Structure 1
Amino acid sequence: MGSILNKPQQWWQKIKGFFKRIGNFFTYDVNPEKQELATEQPPKPGKDASWYQRFIFYFNVTIGSIKTLLLIVISAAIIFFSLVVGVGLGYFASLANQEDVPSYQSMKNQIEDSNESAAFYFAHNDKLGNLTTDLIRTPVKSNEISPYLKKAIVATEDEYFYQHHGVVPKAISRAMISDITGVGTQTGGSTLTQQLVKMKILSSETTFKRKAIEILLAVRLDNYFTKSQILTDYLNAATFGRNNKGQNVGGVEQAALGYFGKHAKDLTLAESAFIAGLPQSPSVYTPYTQSGSLKKDVSAGLDRKNTVLFRMYRHNDITKAQYNAAKKVDLVSEFQAKATPEKENRGYGYVYNLVTVEARDILIDQLIKDDGKNVTKVRNSKEDYNTYWNQADQLLRQKGYRVYSTLDRNIYDKMQTAAKQYAPYLGQSRTSTVTDPVTQQPTNFTEYVQNGTVLLDNQTGSVLGFVGGRDFNKFQLNHAFDTKRSPGSSIKPMLVYGPAVDNKLINTQSQIADFPVSFSGYFPTDFGQQVQNRFISASEALAESYNIPAVNIYNALGKGKATKTYMEKMGIRLSNKEYSELGLALGGTKDGLTVLQQASAFSTFSNGGEHVTPHVIQKITDPSGKVLYKAPETKKKVFSKATTYIMQQMLSGVVQQGTASSLNNGQIPFSTKNIIGKTGTSNDYRDIWFIGSTPGITMASWIGYDNFYGHNYNLDESASDSNLTYWANILASVYRTDPSIFKLSQKMTKPDDVKEANVLASTGTLPGSVDYEGSAARVNSGAKVKAYYNDSDAKAVSYKFGIGGSDKNYRLFWQNYFGQSNDYAVTSTYTGKTVRSKSAEVEDRYYYSNGSYGTYGSFGTGTYSGYSQGNYSGNTTTRSTTGNGTAANNNQLYNQYGTNQYNPSNYGGSTTYNTYGTTGTGTTGNTRTTTNGY
């Protein structure tokens, strides 16, 4: 101890040296001779060195290494940060260069527009109204707002409002760092000017691009307008929670009325502070619930009010005495009592819902594309899709967009009137006692025969009008756009005959077999389980909608191999499994098709073989008139001109002498020779269709029951004629409104590559010879008819001249042709056992219901769908089944595609229900029904 005290100078020098070395950690000391860092380490001590010398040596080495490494890291960070900042500023500058500079008037229109919800228009700039919303707003002028409220907002939301020029530089830096590092996705700190830009011009998303544009627009806004104007517009635009009627409040005037029953100019200091605190989190600080009742705990809003008061005091807006007095005010006693909002009654419910859904979908896709993401992938992600759904919905409700539809008000009104007049004749209503799924109480529920109709412009794809259902006040489900039903035989022209003509497989007089036939256990029959037992021309088979010929043609086409491309070009997408099943030729789809899809696909035959994507929204603009979206003119060549012409000849036969010939009884105000069409009926008259087209327009109509609550109602045998009369009445009403859209004078001229030939009606070929019973027999007798060919020549007769048919069938034909009496062409009824397709992988089953057994017969192809809620429940009758499809469940449940809870008295908005079978787990099977009609 003494030796240490005797050498204080030596220890002091060592301590100084130690701290000096520590200080070198942060400094460079360069040796001018070696140009090396002064932290060069001394020679390593020898074996005789003391522990202190060794400690100092290793300490210096460690510190020197750390210092060098840290200096390298700091240097790299500085370089990287400079690079990032440079790139960020460059990107910011590029955005500034790309972004259109808005004019003063444009920005003025947007920030001062009080109708923030989207405005909807019919065609021809005919305003329908604004998007329905519970947000109420009453704009006021600056002198109609309490000075206390203005000061409270500035002190709370933007204390440097009167000093900055639209933005605060540190906020810009924070936004850039947040976007680069991913730390703090909520950038916060936006000025009132930026918030106004976000509310009135941009979306609230916080991507760097939108943040950069927001900054640019905020600076420009501050340059165009005074602080008083900006503050007033902000106070008119901001949301302030819910009022005593449960309505969302926009603007300070409605906030003052809804909370305190007074105008904004009359608000006291305490009341102003309370309202000024709401924009930060309106749902948390508002004192009212969605029903308008006062919350049990309103302390959050009151605490927020005190925070606002303190900031006003700190900002020198109020004195300490005012601050203390305002804190003591009992605002709870001033809150308004619960009240009932006034109900808004207006028509066009189907139109409002449709335009809202269509516009929102358009904006969703645009937002996704703007962010450089794949639309399909985002739509398949529930979380991502919901994010964009909310953004698009916010744009529609807050940005004052103008949405222009293609719907013609006059045409739409006439269609509703005609549909309403004839609706009682579509079929009988069915009333039953059911258990309400919400209240669990028994209630009477009436099912009506529903109808869905779509009127399209063939050349543009514009939807001119539609009928969504019987009564929007009772059933909001849009049967024209949102429900998918079995298309029945109405699918045949698009799926079977069109592709067959285009591939030169058939001509108008090609003979198709209609005999009993089994395709690996699948037995199709014609309507009513009949079999014609003869060869039938393609034209007659289509006109009379015989099923067996359609299946034979589809089989000859190779099923989906030659048809899928055609269908997809016409906007219809089906699975490979559906294409692989022959029953698809008769409408045996898994989910079915919408009326819009049917009308759009069929319109191809009246539009020269080109398909135009259908649309309801023509364009969307912002309040200044800037076009944000315009419907693209998307046309796809589906069929050749020759195919289209030939199909028009064949489809004309459906109306002139086929299944739609009842239209010739004077219901149409012009010659039916101007109409081509196709009927369709699914099994047991469950779905009835007619699609008719003139050169200018196409109109498709469907009727049937929704079959909610497990009902199994079908239409009667006269339903097809009823639907044709219904269709004709609507068409006549539209024609009287605007005959020009029908373009009756525009008739397709025969293309040069359509060839004609007079052929034998019996064989569809030219006369010739065949080998009959061992000798050549001349075939030239019988009637001759004109046949149209797609760029091919008529062929001479051969023994097997048709499509389909067995050796037995051809022998029966030739025996009859050469004079033998037999059963050729004698219509029979198929009475054999209906055998399911092997692909069904289920056996016919018996199940118990109401004390007796009933056979649940299987249908041609598809999966078995006979269960409900996990048990074998159903009716007690034997199901006679033919054709194709899956057995429709006798105890069906609704299928909800939306997120809203099903309510029998209010199927809201765009929620889609489907009325096909249910599976054993109790969920909707949504399976196909057999198509067995015309």
Structure 2
Amino acid sequence: MSAASSAKPRTKPAVTRRRKTYRWFKALFLSAAIGAFFGMVGYLAIILNGYRLLAANLDKLNLSEATIVYDAEGREIAKLYGAEGNREIVSLNEIPELLRKTVIAVEDRRFYEHQGVDYWAIGRALYRDIVSRSLAEGGSTITQQVAKNIFIADPKKTFFRKATEASIALALERTKTKDEILELYFNRIYFGESAYGIEAASKLYFGKSVKSGELTVAEIAMLAGLPKNPNGYSPFRNPERAKERRAVVLSIMAEQGLITEEEKNRAMNEPFRLNDRVPAVQHPAYVDYAVDEVERLAGISEEELFRGGYRIYTALDPKVQNAVERVFANDALFPKKAASQTDSPESAMVVVRPSDGRIVAMVGGREYARKGLNRATVRRQPGSAFKPIAVYGPAIESGKWTPDSILEDVKRCFDDYCPENYNGKYLGNVTMRQALRDSINVPAVWLLDNLVRDAGGFGPVFRFIRNLGIELDEKNDRHLAIALGGLTSGVTPLEMAQAYGVFANQGVLVPAHAVLRVEDSRGRTVYTAAAKPKQVIRPSTAYWLTVMLQEAVVSGTGKKARMDRPVAGKTGTTQEPGKKGANRDIWFVGYTPQYAAAVWIGFDRPDALHSLTADSGQAAAVFSAAMRLALEGVPKGEFKRPPGVEEPSPSPSPSSSPTPSPTPSADNGAGGITLTAAYDAVRHAVRLMWTPSEQAALYRIFREGGSENGKPSPIAETSDVRWLDADVEDGAEYRYYVAALAEDGQTELGRSNPTSVRIPAGGRLPSPSASPKRTPAPPTASVGEGEPSATPPEENAAASPPALLPSVPAVSNKDGGT
């Protein structure tokens, strides 16, 4: 049998099996090819989708940054941010290397190896998700976390969201370097408690900047562990869980060789040294005003401020601001809410530095809420605090009147406007200084009437007021009631502090401002305050007003503002119409050689039920309490007489130069007592006034001169801070000083400066004749001042004026003792 014939033929099953195997491999290959093709298409689609999303949202890479507000000493007092939270941007090289490596070790060990997506981590996460039957495991790289936090708003963990996240991550890796992505991560990631980014978190929890290099190993570990569960691991909310998380991170750091075992153990036992939690905004009224000023003057909107990372440098003096806030927290210094009242009395205070216009302190209310009603900028009727601005200042500025000019104090009407003195007493004739010191109403109206008649209108008076930074209603404020503070719209405490600051600054106005400069996020200055000084009234006018306002504090209506340093100022009160003894507004506006300040107390919505029984002495007491604290340790200073300003010469005419005025000495006595003396032409006597000494129980007054010879001899003793020496001779010159005595009446604590006064040769000045009754239209509001029960009366109230116009509040000024 041949070989060919002996071979076994192929069986059908074998052929069939081979064919099936071939077909199976062919189908598998085709499936793989198709799968690879669609996988490639899908991958390209993901890549392209990532590029598309990235390109459409590039602006989101510009992270919003909180704006920081600083006080005058460069300390942070506020952070302003919107919905995206508190963030301060830092560069990667400003972040400590250990912190960078720790975050990578905890969040994404293969960060510098993968291309945006870590497939090993995804596989591990997928396996765990299958086991747990949920999408519990993340597997996200640092790049994916950046993509998710910046570009994806949907918080739900879905396959579509993860795919989108991966696509953007892949695109990011192809458009950004690894370090750029890591920097984005450190500045964008959420660290809890409204802190976004590592810098904000470091400051929030530890009060340290990451740039300082002061973070400990334990602090670095805590910060690195927060992103996994920011609120759950917050040391403020969950200190024990925070310590546990810190321990996990420290172990990872040791495993990765970032720290030694010894460092790990030491850090494990380190107690939390957390920063004190402070409000995002301290001193809210001041900060709100500063933000408004930036919007108004720098043209930067609030929206821009809340995301632009600006730096606002303000004039806030922390010592002065804290002093005012401390006083405002003292209930004993303020009127109490009556049982029948639904609202509590409110208050505001502003302190400015006249020399450069800086607003060093501002409190907008006793219960001020952020972005609330800032009462420091709300208009109110100023009462008699407006007299130096509307009457006595313009009179002295005219050159026809001086502090010792004789003014008429007789009950009378000016056409149909009939002001009254609060105590119902009229002295016939008084000097200007006396009228201001005791806040007598009729002489102020009489003098304004004369000023208007002499000038042929209100022009010079309005110009003087405008020069102090106060704008009146040109149409409706042309009436005599402005002498007593009767204004159509009123004035703000800030305006009053600025105006009195001109008197303190020898007639120079530097516009009040809170913001010194603004820098953008790159440190470029985009705004600088341009508050230029301007001589707006004569230095002599400012000086004589200061002399008279000092007297008002030493022995007049502002006695409760007295301190152991020079103080000048004026009270103000407006009365609730138709309710005797009830006040709407009480004021004190005053200044020291360092600061000018205004205090207002009243109700936000005054009415017959919501009125005050307190007088403006209470506002003066608030001023004194706040300024004492603010000026602790500050030299007393002095109000200096400007060069070339001389004593006025005596004259019997009320419209010409009068008799000598007291001159504050440039050299206080050894006891810190400043003595002033002036001849009172009406009483034919020398009036002595001095600043009080807190230790003195008694004062002894010494005099020499006249027909007397020899050394100074004592002429009187008093516990008051003023004395009237009526035993004087015509044409004589006298020299005085005051000695402060202890309780035993013998021990001398110190002496004042000496001061001299010459008595005019003509004796008493004759009383002036009554002025003509030509006067402008009466006021639309009844204003003036006074206190219901002052001893002696501190300010004298105005009479009821004619019918009110709707545009003017129906308030009456009753100053006469506040």
Q: TM-score, normalised by structure 2?
A: 0.54
Per-residue CA deviations over 1:277-300 (Å, capped at 9, x if unaligned) read: xxxxxxxxxxxxxxxxxxxxxxxx
Distance 1:395 1:554, change over 3 A: same
- The equivalent of 1:123 in structure 2 is 72
Superimposed CA distance per residue, residues 435-480 of structure 1 (whole angstroms, 9 cap, x where no aligned partner): xxxxxxxxxx842221111111110111111222112359932222
Q: Please state whether the residue corresponding to 1:618 is helix, strand or coil.
A: strand
Residue number in structure 2 paired with 1:468? 364
2:624 maps to which of 700, 705, 728:
728
**What SS class does the counterpart of residue 268 from structure 1 fall into?**
helix
Return closer, same or farther for 1:766/1:425 CA change in 2, 3 Å cut-off. closer
1:429 to 318, 334, 337: 337
Tell me the alpha carbon deviations over residues 15-46 of structure 1, each in whole angstroms, 9 at most, x when there is no partner.
Answer: xxxxxxxxxxxxxxxxxxxxxxxxxxxxxxxx
- The correspondence of residues 330-349 of structure 1 with structure 2, limited to 5 A, is 346-347=278-279
1:241-280 map, 5 Å: 252-253=148-149, 256=152, 259-260=155-156, 268-270=162-164
In 1: Cα distance, 2:350 partner to 2:451 partner: 31
Deviation at 1:427, TM superposition (A): 1.6
Offset of 1:130 from its aligned partner? Answer: 1.1
Q: Does 1:647 align with 2:545?
A: yes
Instruction: Decide whether the 8 Å contact of 1:703 with 1:723 is kept in 2.
Output: yes
Which aligned pairs between 1:77-96 and structure 2 lie closer than 5 A?
none
| Aligned match of 1:748 | 640
Could you report, residue by residue, the CA deviation over 1:848-882 in whole angstroms, capped at 9, with x for unpaired residues? xxxxxxxxxx8489xxxxxxxxxxxxxxxxxx993
Change (3 A) 1:661 1:725: same
Return the alpha-carbon distance in structure 2 between the equivalents of residues 504 and 794 of structure 1: 24
Q: How far apart are the structure 2 equivalents of 1:699 and 1:839?
A: 28
Given that 2:352 and 2:597 are in contact with CA atoms closer than 8 Å, whether structure 1 keeps it comes out as yes
Q: Does 1:680 align with 2:572?
A: yes
One of 527, 540, 560 as aligned partner of 2:434: 540
Matched ranges for 1:810-889 at <5 A: 859=782, 882-884=799-801
Contact 2:587 2:619 (C-alpha < 8 Å) held by counterparts? yes
1:475 and 1:392 map into 2 onto residues whose CA distance is 15
| Cα distance in 2 for residues equivalent to 1:713 and 1:460 | 38
Q: Does the CA contact (< 8 Å) of 2:414 and 2:773 recur in 1?
A: no
Cα shift at 1:750: 5.1
For 1:362, the equivalent position in structure 2 comes to 294
- Are 1:760 and 1:785, in contact at CA under 8 Å, matched by a contact in 2? no
Candidates 794, 797, 801, aligned match of 2:768:
801
Q: CA deviation at 1:132?
A: 4.2
Per-residue Cα deviation, 1:39-75 (whole angstroms, up to 9, x for no partner): xxxxxxxxxxxxxxxxxxxxxxxxxxxxxxxxxxxxx
In the aligned structure 1, how far is the partner of 2:494 from the partner of 2:282?
15
Deviation digits for residues 476-512 of structure 1, max 9, x if unmatched? 32222x3111011101111111110010231111111
Q: Tell me if structure 2 keeps the 8 A contact 1:488–1:933.
A: yes
Structure 1 partner of 2:308 = 399
CA distance in 2, matches of 1:578, 1:762: 29
Say if 2:495 is the partner of 1:600.
no
Cα distance in 2, alignment partners of residues 234 and 614 from structure 1: 51
2:294 alignment partner, SS class: helix
What is the one-letter code of the residue matched to 2:430? I
Over residues 92-111 of structure 1, what are the superposed CA-to-partner deviations in whole Å (9 max), with x where a residue is unaligned?
A: xxxxxxxxxxxxxxxxxx99
| 2:155 aligned counterpart, secondary structure | helix
C-alpha change, 1:538 and 1:363, in structure 2 (3 Å) is same
What displacement does 1:739 show? 1.6
Deviation (angstroms), 1:647: 1.5
Shift of 1:519: 2.0
Aligned residue for 1:725, secondary structure, equals helix
Give 2:815's aligned amino acid: G
Q: What residue identity is the alignment partner of 2:290?
A: E
Counterpart of 2:568, as a letter, is I
Is 1:591–1:928's contact at 8 Å kept on the other side of the alignment? no
3-state SS of 1:577 partner: coil
| SS of 2:604 mapped into structure 1 | coil
Specify the SS of the correspondent of 1:464: strand
Look up the match of 2:634: 739
Letter in 2 for 1:448: S
1:800, distance to aligned residue in structure 2 (A): 6.8
Per residue, is there more helix in 1 or in 2? 1
Aligned residue in 2 for 1:696: 594
1:452 and 2:348 aligned: yes
Instruction: Pick closer, same or farther for the CA change 1:474–1:605 going to 2, 3 Å.
Output: closer
Pair 1:413 & 2:322 matched: yes
- 2:496 equivalent to 1:588: no
SS of the counterpart of 2:283?
helix
C-alpha distance 859-640 of structure 1, shift in aligned 2 (>3 A): closer
Aligned mates of 2:68, 2:802 — CA distance in 1: 44
Distance 1:112 1:731, change over 3 A: farther
Kindly state the Cα deviation for residue 630 of structure 1 after the two structures are TM-superposed: 0.9
Residues 464 and 361 of structure 1, relative CA distance in 2, 3 Å threshold: closer
Letter in 2 for 1:801: P
Equivalents in 2 of 1:704, 1:602: separation in Å?
21
Matched, 1:486 2:381: yes
Structure 1 residue 366: deviation in Å? 4.2
Q: Deviations over 1:659-678 (max 9, x none)?
A: 012344xxx2x23xx11111
Q: Which of residues 373, 381, 387 is equivalent to 1:477?
A: 373
Q: Which moved more, 1:397-406 or 1:555-564?
A: 555-564
1:556 aligns with 2:465: no
Query: 1:428 offset after TM fit, Å?
Result: 2.1
Segments of 5+ residues of structure 2 without an aligned counterpart are 1-58, 93-99, 118-141, 171-231, 238-275, 577-582, 660-680, 689-754, 785-796
Distance 2:422 2:74 in 1: 48
- 1:933 aligned to 2:807? no
Deviation track 1:623-667 (CA, whole Å, cap 9, x = no partner) reads 222111111132221221222222121111101111012344xxx
Q: What CA distance in whole angstroms lies between the structure 1 residues aligned with 2:83 and 2:778? A: 55
- Per the alignment, in what secondary structure is the counterpart of residue 726 of structure 1? helix
Structure 1 runs not aligned, ≥5 long? 1-109, 153-231, 237-250, 277-338, 368-390, 433-444, 768-779, 808-835, 841-857, 862-879, 889-918, 920-924
Following the alignment from structure 1 to structure 2, what is the Cα–Cα distance between the partners of residues 594 and 676? 19
Over residues 140-181 of structure 1, what are the superposed CA-to-partner deviations in whole Å (9 max), with x where a residue is unaligned?
Answer: 99999999xx999xxxxxxxxxxxxxxxxxxxxxxxxxxxxx
Please tell me the residue identity of whatever aligns with 1:545. S
Matched position secondary structure for 2:414: coil
Q: Work out the CA distance in 2 between the residues paired with 1:490 and 1:537.
A: 18
Residues 68 and 312 in structure 2, CA contact (< 8 A), matched pair in contact too: yes
Give the aligned length. Answer: 503
**Counterpart in the other structure of 2:394:** 499
How much does 1:572 deviate? 0.4
Question: Could you say if the C-alpha distance between residues 532 and 763 of structure 1 is closer, same or farther in structure 2, counting changes exceeding 3 Å?
Answer: farther
Deviations 1:588-609 (A, max 9, x none): 1111111110000001111011
Question: Which of residues 487, 499, 508 is equivalent to 1:610?
Answer: 508
Structure 1: distance between partners of 2:284 and 2:408 = 50
Does the residue aligned with 2:73 lie in a helix, a strand or coil? helix
Query: What secondary structure, in the 3-state scheme, does the structure 1 residue paired with 2:647 have?
Result: strand
**Distance (whole Å) between structure 2 residues aligned to residue 640 and residue 516 of structure 1:** 33
1: CA distance, partners of 2:554 / 2:769: 25
Alignment RMSD (CA, Å): 4.8
Post-superposition offset of 1:537? 0.6
Per the alignment, residue 412 of structure 2 pairs with 517
Quote the sequence identity (%).
21
TM-score with structure 1 length normalisation?
Answer: 0.47
Shift in Å, 1:694? 1.2
Alignment-mate amino acid for residue 68 of structure 2 = A
Distance in 2 (CA, whole Å) between partners of 1:601 and 1:418 is 24
